[in-house]
Amino acid sequence: MLDLKFIRENPDKVKVGIAAKRTTVDLDLLLQLDTRRRQLIVRIDELKAKKNAANDDISRLIKEKKDPKPTIASMKAIAAEIDALEPQGKALDEQIQNILLFIPNVPHHSVSAGGPEANQIVASWGDKPVFDFKPKTHIEIAENLDIIDFKRGTKLSGSNFILYKDMGARLERALYNFMLDLHTSQHGYREMSPPVVVNTASMTATGQLPKMKDDMYHLEGDDLFLIPTAEVPVTNIHRDEMLNEEDLPLYYTAYTTCFRREAGSYGKDTRGLVRIHQFDKVELVKFVRPEASYQELESLLGNATRIFEILKIPYRVLLLASGDLSFSAAKCYDIEVYAAGMDKWLEASSCSNFEDFQARRGNIAYKGKDGKKKGFVHTLNGSGVALPRTVVAILENYQTPEGNVIIPEALRPYMGGLEIITRR
């Protein structure tokens, strides 16, 4: 969340940020509540000082064998007023906190204003594959090879769930093992295997709650949530902790299954792998010193794009405009891969810098060698990468005229040396 002092001193900047994120928050009400709260604190402090002085007077009067009753009565009246004001202060704190939780992060100055139409292509790599036949979509290929069963996935769990089979399941496993090995051996990440259900505090810290509750799967009986991304549990590893500055940066990677209801987002792409409720993803999370966070974002982007370069999948990088940024992000790059059968660019990774927005919500601070708190860390995360659309790109870009799929060379050791997927 944003620092209340920052909001108080930069209300116009925050209002511009709220509008840029295409959301609405009553910032004027927040500032009014904050003023009342600070006035109340001053009054309570004054009363406590009077109460302490009265206590001292009572002790003195008793020692001097004088009547303390008038002073005692005065002290009781002061105490009664304090008791009446403190619940008001607590109520104001709750109102302020509830509004703060809905204020999005302010976009970085390098981010353009506008919606998706204002996104900028800032990099690209690789050439689109050229075929001497009409390329099939991943749906046709997967069904013909019998490696993904869309109908039975729906039978098991409902629409937009899928069942990987045989070499489809093997390809999925090969991909996340390849990614984890690359990130841990070459990019300096420490592997984690977190829970895929988390509590409300965890979802609130990373910014999914309360604003995006409708997109989450909630286990009401336990008040737990299925994770939409490993960003949530991995970032929360250090919630309510004080990190040592000399230990920064910290790089973590994790493979998990992810769950998203994506309420109201359907209407197209309802078949296939492009938009599903449950999917696998390798996540990259960083905890860094504030002054290094934008350099770390560029490094994070490079870690994610390296996956596609090794797999020889054409990609492009988009710098998202303010209206396309997530609630918590200050700056974000999307990586889109090309899928020949659909003839589309598909988002397969997002790499974001949240600055201290998540760290404030989750109370993730850091201290210097002197043991004194220096501030909040900056958190970053990126998909390293999401599997469904990567699978789409492999199936569609590596297809043969016979409908088979050549396995990218880097994945073959993870596929038992297999070079091509054919129908069994």
- Catalytic site residue from 299, 349, 350, 352: 350
Q: Which two tokens stand for residue 46?
A: 């004054």
Q: What kind and span of H or E run contains 17?
A: helix 11-20
State the DSSP string of 315-380.
EEEEE--GGGS-SS-SEEEEEEEEETTTTEEEEEEEEEE-TTHHHHHHTEEEE-TTS-EEEEPEEE
Question: Does residue 424 have an active-site annotation?
Answer: no
Listed in sequence order, the residues at least 6 apart from 27 whose beta carbon sits closer than 8 Å to its beta carbon are 7, 11, 14, 15, 18, 103
Identify the H or E element spanning 95. helix 69-100
Query: Of residues 293, 349, 389, 396, which has the active-site annotation?
Result: 389
Q: Is-contact 15 29, C-beta < 8 A?
A: no
Measured distance CA(234)–CA(94) in Å, rounded:
28
Q: Is 350 a catalytic residue?
A: yes
Q: In the annotation, is 260 catalytic?
A: yes
38 catalytic? Reply is no
Judge whether 43 counts as a catalytic residue: no
* Other C-beta atoms lying within 10 Å of the C-beta of residue 24: 9
Instruction: Indicate which residue of 43, 245, 347, 412 is catalytic.
Output: 347
Catalytic residue among 37, 170, 260, 361: 260
Secondary-structure percent of the chain, ordered helix, strand, coil, rounded to 5: 45, 20, 35
Q: Among residues 275, 349, 360, 396, which one is catalytic? A: 275
Q: So which residues are the catalytic ones?
A: 260, 275, 347, 350, 389
